[in-house]
Amino acid sequence: MLKAFVWTVPMALCCFSAWAQNDTSGDTATDAAETTLISAEVDLAAAEKIFQKSCRACHGNKAQGAASYPKLSDKEPDYIVELLERYRSGEKIGPNSILMIQHAKKLSDSDIASLAIYVTTAFE
Amino acid sequence: MYRSHYRTTLPVLASLIGGTAIMSLPAVAQSGLNTTNLQHEVVLDGLDNPWDMAFLDDGTMLFTEKCKGLSVRMADGTVNALYGVGDTDGYPSNGSDLFCEGQAGMMGVAFDPDFANNRRIYVYSTSNMSEPHTNRLMRFSLSEDFTSVSDRTDIVDDVPYKMAASDHPFGGPGAHNGGRVRFDANGHLFLTTGDTHNGEVPQSPTMMGSKVLRIDTDGNAIADNAPPDGFDDRTYTYGHRNVQGIAFHPVTGQAITAEHGPWHSDEITILQNGGNAGWDPRPNMAGRGDCPDNYCGYSPNQEEGMNRYERAAFMPMTDFDTYPDAMPPIWNNNGWSQGTSSAAFLAGDAWGDWNGAMVVGIMGIGFGGTPIGQRIDVIQFNDDNTDVEDVTEMTLPMETGRFRSVVMGPDGSLYTAIDEGTIYKLTPGG
């Protein structure tokens, strides 16, 4: 979980105002804000849906890698973010780039952040 | 040829009749309609890309892992490592020349039909012993206690290997090796190979990619192989793309391939001795101009999705215009390419109406609007066993995966390996 926390801080900061405006849970929320923020900003449920639809068939049901598609679960989140952003821009990186570009170009910054956390933590 | 009629049994029934389906399904399943009630068991898990399996009558199972090597699971469940890829740890002996890269590595495996007397087994793997590297079919002797192999003899050493990356989807080294190794009822050994992203290979009379080889256990051609004049006489059929599935019809004995299409048209084909499967991805022919790195296999528009029928018209999987006598496929997956891999025939009364039907493992791939499609399809033939009559998606009792291998076990169960690392046993009834 440490690597997830470290990486998610920047995402939490950029989205904090929206979270705060929607919060109605009272004073105790402050103490729990950090934990809540991580789960709120990194939408693991949304990431799981994207993973099941777009990633799982090649990278495996546990992101363990399969065939010529690499393992994801052992990577660092920032590595996943970097690669997805580069694929999203249309950059070719490796022999399976055409598949990755097609999927990555549909992803928002939030999707990428969430996926990066999901694939590197969900299958530990 | 079966193209458009496609149905799934249990989900469709459930959606149509709702809650009553729960009560009704057992009766439906046992009425002879088909077998939808499967039990599953994890045979092995945590494997590294299991690629193929082979069985003895007592349940002893050879299996390959693409980048690790060959092992045997004994009938009591113990596993003995036998022959490693490269310097992989944990094997009593290793092929220092063996390696994996991309789609290449250790692939098909088979027991000799006379194994009880000669202890011989056969394994297909990528090797760097030659320059350029090749895929090789190796013969071994398996020790009496099933703990080691010896007497390696490379009975086929010249199946092309893709050495360098090219400007194609999945264009890394090691693409398209075929890889299935099977014996027919006559004791003939069949090896399936692939085109290595090389436009010249499929129709080449001498390069042994894109072929189905029919040989004896020393690697020699079967005498009545009948390829065209000038062809290597080990050739049973040619002009394939990348055959990973081959099985033999239980009634006719004919070899039938299941083949992965080029972003369109996975195919099942009843092979004809000497036949041409009609794949010819060379540039500057059949109405095509130049193609990336002289291979039109993903053209046109290889970086974007497009209508599969337009793609098929430009670069057909079976080019009847150029090769009017090409072997006609009997199934083309509704024009989709979804990663069709292995094939087998179900056997046993417990399979009900599916007894004798073909099953095909589909690995799934989503590109350009193609449904991913991970599944096992049950292919039922017509009364003459000349065409596909019905296709049913098997209702699986476990999560889907990349179904690389389907093999009928001696216990009447279907075994399937998924790239994710699991070998399952599927048993009808229960």
Name the domain count of chain B. Answer: 1
**Which of A58, A64, A68 is the best mutation test for B, with the most CBs of B within 10 A?**
A68
ipTM of the predicted structure?
A: 0.79
Q: Please check whether residue B28 lies inside any domain of the structure.
A: no
**Which of B52, B362, B402 is the best mutation test for A, with the most CBs of A within 10 A?**
B402
Q: How confident is the model at residue B303 (pLDDT cuts 50, 70, 90)?
A: confident
**A36-43, long-range: CB < 8 A, 24+ apart:** A37/A8, A37/A12, A38/A4, A38/A5, A38/A8, A38/A12, A40/A15, A41/A8, A41/A11, A41/A12, A41/A15, A41/A113, A42/A4, A42/A8, A42/A11, A42/A113, A42/A114, A42/A117, A42/A118, A43/A110, A43/A114
Task: Inform me whether the pLDDT recorded for A28 exceeds 70.
Answer: no
Distance from CA of B175 to the nearest CA of A (A): 10
Using the structure block, give the residue that is written with the tokens 């590109």. B367
Average pLDDT over residues B288-316: 94
Q: Please check whether residue B330 lies inside any domain of the structure.
A: yes
- Mean pLDDT rounded to a whole number for chain A: 75
- Tell me what pLDDT residue B16 has: 34
CB of A67 within 8 Å of a chain B CB? The answer is: yes
- Tell me what pLDDT residue B15 has: 36
Q: Please check whether residue B81 lies inside any domain of the structure.
A: yes
Tell me the pLDDT tens digit for each residue of B196-246: 999 999 999 999 999 999 999 999 999 999 999 999 999 999 999 999 999
Task: Inform me whether the pLDDT recorded for B351 exceeds 60.
Answer: yes
- Tell me what pLDDT residue B430 has: 66
Is 1.10.760.10 the CATH number for A2-8+33-121?
yes
Residue range of the domain that includes B38? 7-21+33-428
**Of A55-69, A78-92, B287-301, minimum mean pLDDT range:** A55-69
Q: How confident is the model at residue B35 (pLDDT cuts 50, 70, 90)?
A: low
Q: Please check whether residue B27 lies inside any domain of the structure.
A: no
Q: Please check whether residue B131 lies inside any domain of the structure.
A: yes
Contact residues, chain A, for B104 at CB < 8 Å? none
Tell me the pLDDT tens digit for each residue of B143-182: 999 999 999 999 999 999 999 999 999 999 999 999 999 9
Q: Domain segments of chain A: what residues?
A: 2-8+33-121
Task: Inform me whether the pLDDT recorded for B32 exceeds 70.
Answer: no
Q: What's the CATH code of the domain at B242?
A: 2.120.10.30
Q: Please check whether residue B151 lies inside any domain of the structure.
A: yes
Measured in degrees and rounded to the nearest 5, phi and psi for residue A11 equal: -65, -40
Q: Please check whether residue B2 lies inside any domain of the structure.
A: no
Amino acid letter, B329: P
Using alpha carbons only, what angle is made at residue A59 by residues B309 and B312, rounded to the nearest 5 degrees? Answer: 10
